């Protein structure tokens, strides 16, 4: 007789069970959503999503494509038109010869991050990430069967990695890949040329693939964005992850890409055949249309974040408890709250309880971000200014 008692039921894989460990990072977010569901007013400065919808002209293109019949299976590696548009964007921005054969369209940058790691890590091999990191990174690497190892950065270095730290971690763990993110979520750091050259040299010296997450490359407030794929010798060992989500306010459409060597793109297409089976054609047509509108549309979508980043720095200029990393790019501000004596987690929970303002505790983005909170600049300017004034007042009270 087969037993139905729990200990005799088939188990879930440790790979899948291990993914459920970013728990605390989302506790504040979930508590805020529960308060809103109860009808309470909460200023939500948590997730990186625009407070406005996908531009109407992109939706018109999506609608026209769907009505014209592009609702069946579409080319799995991406439509010819979209791959061409992405290649043109990358070539124009980097000067690196890039054709459609170098582009795989993925369901968002997140799926691109997963596919890139699937492509380069054998089971059990180490993939390095820079800490602080986007919250999904460790889980993404674990999901591929890889082993994430963090390379810490320091606020004093502008949260840019030191080549020696990358080299040490690569040697100690026999790493196969390094994942970087510039402009960075959560710090807003943009890696300068010297930093990227050092990273590139470390990758060459230690035989690493470089996976470069550039989903915020349209949100540049200071300095310039350089793609490390453009550095000498790097195009053959770099997989760039890009996305329509942030640049075109298309988070829900789930369109991203990997740009890399043709042979890698061919192999990653086999992964797509066996996993996603591509993206809806009408979504890809809308993305191709949006990319055709180009820089002007990207600037329009980025404008509110540029303005709010300046506004936030102005509002916080007068206080002395919070130390601010002045984000050079992306849609966030990382605040060092250690002078309050609280952890990022406790600060965020109390701020939610006492001021009804929700922010992300730094601990969810890695050890190097502990004692910080991340503010998403994703609410109306006046609401943001008022919330930051109250947040600074709360911090001053905590600091006593």
- Site residues, ligand PLP (CB under 6 A): 48, 108-110, 134, 181, 185, 213, 215, 243, 245, 251, 256
Q: How far is the CB of 251 from ligand PLP (least distance, A)?
A: 5
* 78 vs 108 by CB, closer to ligand PLP: 108
Long-range contacts from 194-198, C-beta under 8 angstroms, 24+ separation = 195/160, 195/161, 196/226, 196/228, 196/231, 197/231, 198/162, 198/163
Smallest distance, Å, CB 142 to ligand PLP? Answer: 16
Provide the token pair at 330: 């992306």
Pairing of strands 323-325, 256-259: unpaired
The least distance separating ligand PLP from the CB of residue 214, rounded to whole angstroms, comes to 9
Q: If 0-12 CB within 10 Å is exposed, 13-18 middle and 19+ buried, where does residue 194 land? A: exposed
Rounded Cα distance between 363 and 291, Å, is 35
Q: How near is the Cβ of 216 to ligand PLP at its closest, in Å?
A: 7
Tokens of 381: 């300017």
Rounded to a whole number of angstroms, the minimum distance from the CB of residue 171 to ligand PLP is 27
For ligand PLP, the closer CB: 243 or 340: 243
Alpha carbon distances (Å) from 372 to 180, 375, 376:
20, 10, 13
Identity of the residue, 77 or 187, whose beta carbon is nearer to ligand PLP in the bound complex: 187
The torsion of the CA quartet 92, 97, 102, 107, rounded to 10 degrees, works out to: -10
Least distance from C-beta 113 to ligand PLP, angstroms?
Answer: 6
Of 79 and 340, CB closest to ligand PLP: 79
Tell me whether residue 219 or residue 235 sits nearer to ligand PLP (CB atom).
219
Structure tokens at 231: 């550095």
Residue closer to ligand PLP (CB basis): 213 or 298: 213
């Amino acid at each position: 007789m087969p037993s139905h008692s729990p200990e005799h039921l088939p188990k879930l894989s440790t790979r899948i069970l291990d993914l459920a460990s970013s728990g605390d990072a989302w506790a504040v977010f979930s508590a805020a959503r529960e308060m809103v569901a109860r009808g309470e007013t909460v200023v939500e400065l948590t997730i990186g999503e625009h407070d406005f919808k996908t531009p109407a002209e992109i939706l018109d293109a999506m609608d026209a494509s769907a009505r014209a019949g592009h609702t069946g299976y579409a080319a799995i590696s991406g439509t010819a038109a979209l791959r061409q548009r992405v290649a043109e964007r990358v070539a124009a921005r980097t000067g690196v010869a890039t054709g459609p054969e170098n582009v795989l369209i993925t369901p968002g940058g997140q799926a691109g991050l997963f596919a890139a790691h699937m492509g380069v890590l054998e089971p059990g091999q180490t993939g390095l990430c820079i800490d602080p990191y986007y919250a999904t990174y460790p889980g993404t690497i674990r999901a591929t069967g890889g082993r994430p190892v963090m390379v810490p950065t320091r606020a004093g270095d502008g949260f840019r990695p030191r080549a020696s730290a990358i080299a040490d971690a690569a040697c100690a763990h026999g790493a196969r890949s390094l994942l970087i993110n510039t402009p960075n979520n959560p710090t807003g750091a943009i890696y300068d040329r010297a930093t990227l050259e050092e990273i590139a040299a470390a990758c060459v010296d230690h035989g690493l693939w470089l996976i470069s997450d550039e989903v915020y490359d349209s949100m540049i407030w200071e300095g310039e964005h350089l793609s490390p794929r453009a550095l000498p010798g790097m195009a053959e060992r770099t997989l760039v992850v890009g996305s329509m989500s942030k640049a075109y306010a298309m988070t829900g459409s789930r369109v991203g890409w990997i740009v890399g060597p043709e042979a890698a793109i061919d192999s990653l297409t086999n992964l797509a055949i066996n996993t996603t089976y591509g993206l809806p054609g009408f979504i890809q047509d809308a993305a191709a249309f949006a990319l055709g509108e180009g820089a002007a549309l990207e600037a329009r979508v980025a404008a509110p974040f540029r303005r709010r980043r300046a506004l936030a720095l102005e509002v916080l200029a007068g206080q002395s408890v919070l130390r601010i990393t002045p984000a050079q790019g992306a849609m966030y501000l990382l605040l060092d709250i250690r002078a309050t004596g609280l952890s990022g987690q406790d600060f965020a929970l109390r701020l939610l309880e006492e001021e009804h303002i929700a922010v992300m505790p730094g601990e969810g983005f890695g050890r190097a971000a502990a004692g910080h909170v991340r503010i998403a600049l994703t609410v109306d300017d006046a609401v943001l200014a008022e919330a930051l004034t109250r947040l600074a007042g709360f911090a001053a009270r905590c600091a006593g």
